Amino acid sequence: MSTLSHVFDLPAQKSELLIFFTLLQLSIIILAARMGGEIATRIGQAAVVGEIIAGIVLGPSLFGLLMPGTFHYIFHSIPAGPLDALSQLGLILLMFQIGLEFDFSHLEEKANRNAVLWVAAASMLVPFVLGLGFAMVSAPLLSPQAEPWASALFIATAFSITAVPILGRIMMEFGMTRSRLGVIAISAAAINDVVGWLLLALVTTLALSHFEAIAFAIKVFLVFAFIIIWIFGIRPLMKWVIRRFSAGGKLTPHLLGIILISIFVSGLITSSLGIFTIFGGFIMGVILHDANEFVEAWNERVSPFVLVFFLPIFFTYTGLRTNIGGLDSASLWGWCGLILLLATVGKFGGAYGAARIAGLNHHQAKVMGIMMNTRALMELIVINVGYDLGAISQQVFTMLVIMAIFSTIITTPFLRAWLPRAGVQLTAPAPMPERSQNRLTTDYRPDQ
């Protein structure tokens, strides 16, 4: 850094320095993501798994450990602001695409609505209780600096979260986006995440000792009001906009501009409500999922750029803040193993049992359980908040990072093994842009 910073002294030259390192970072990130995705697909994993691991590899856990000088030169020569902004923007656009991909007409059937509610409730409650119990026992040993209840609530929330963006991408790669199982899983996961973010806001408030029950109740009301307004008010307005500004089903510059503004404004509103910008993007996609010509045009012109450019930035930025290397004793690894066991059993068992109660057969319930167990980077958001507030220690943070990665890695092989038994004809996962363009359909009969 010092060599170049002496060269670039004037404000204009410092701007050039910022651009130089940003372009260097982006070039390395995109290359690593493409390589990671290709390797993952070659060994039977979803491409997203390889991209996540590539992001972790580029961070201090491996690259920073093996080549600290080069690592700091590339990623710490300038502030992290540009990479952070690009990563969040990419995630918002990805959530919009995930919303576009799902056919929620399945939820018109009462049996499917019941399944969503059962799975959402059980897959949230069971792991939450297990996480709470684990943390109350382990907090004095693993996070002695923290208030036990605050630590327990953060860990319980991390146990109960489901990663909507990652689950959605994996399901798109398997062509499950318009299947009955896919819609139930993504709907239940979305409910999990909305409740999870509200719970995170509550836990954070409790940790800071400023909890006000009335303010929290108002926030919950506003979230539901937002969803209702978007479905019954914004949806018909956006449908009219698409008909007005599209030319023969094409994504015109005016229409693209309006859509991007609507995504960003939706994200701004959900952010102000305390449930993060990504859900604004997701809801905007959901209300437009049946605008078929627009969806096809978006997938053709915009989707590949989002998936190839923006999304790997998010993975890498998260990896830069994750350091897997703090477990230096057998006892710590034992606690880590217990976290993996309890989190997996809680999420899988809760979703499986609820799916069986809701009428799904044994094989379908297993698929539901493994899909709801996918946590990935959404959990990392929760544990980063807990770590920043001092509610969990560095060791617990590392254990939960490992759990997030583990729960994501195991999803694809189990889906590949169990989906045929649930009546789904599998093909090899295709690269994401092509798959999302095709919008493959796998229909389930309610009696399957």
Instruction: Report residue 316's pLDDT band, with 50, 70 and 90 as the boundaries.
Output: confident
pTM of the predicted model over 0.85: no
Instruction: Report residue 26's pLDDT band, with 50, 70 and 90 as the boundaries.
Output: very high
| pLDDT at residue 44 tops 80 | no
| pLDDT value for 448 | 36
Higher per-residue confidence, 328 vs 231? 231
| pLDDT value for 5 | 52
Helices and strands (H, E) in the chain, number of each type: 23, 0
CA neighbor of 402 nearest in space, from 338, 346, 313, 347: 338
Higher per-residue confidence, 343 vs 432? 343
Judge contact between 358 and 118, C-beta under 8 A. Answer: yes
| pLDDT at residue 134 tops 60 | yes
CA neighbor of 397 nearest in space, from 379, 409, 410, 411: 379
**pLDDT tens, residue by residue, 148-192:** 888 888 899 999 988 777 787 788 778 777 777 888 888 888 788
Instruction: Report residue 129's pLDDT band, with 50, 70 and 90 as the boundaries.
Output: very high
How many other CB atoms are found less than 10 A from the CB of residue 5? Answer: 13
| pLDDT value for 108 | 63
Higher per-residue confidence, 326 vs 145? 145
| pLDDT value for 262 | 95
Higher per-residue confidence, 231 vs 439? 231
| pLDDT at residue 340 tops 80 | yes
Mean pLDDT value of segment 233-261: 89
| pLDDT value for 426 | 64
| pLDDT value for 341 | 95
| pLDDT value for 111 | 63
| pLDDT value for 6 | 54
C-alpha dist (Å) from residue 94 to 98, 137, 229, 291, 312: 6, 38, 22, 17, 11
Higher per-residue confidence, 107 vs 121? 121
Rounded Cα–Cα distance for residues 433 and 90 (Å): 15
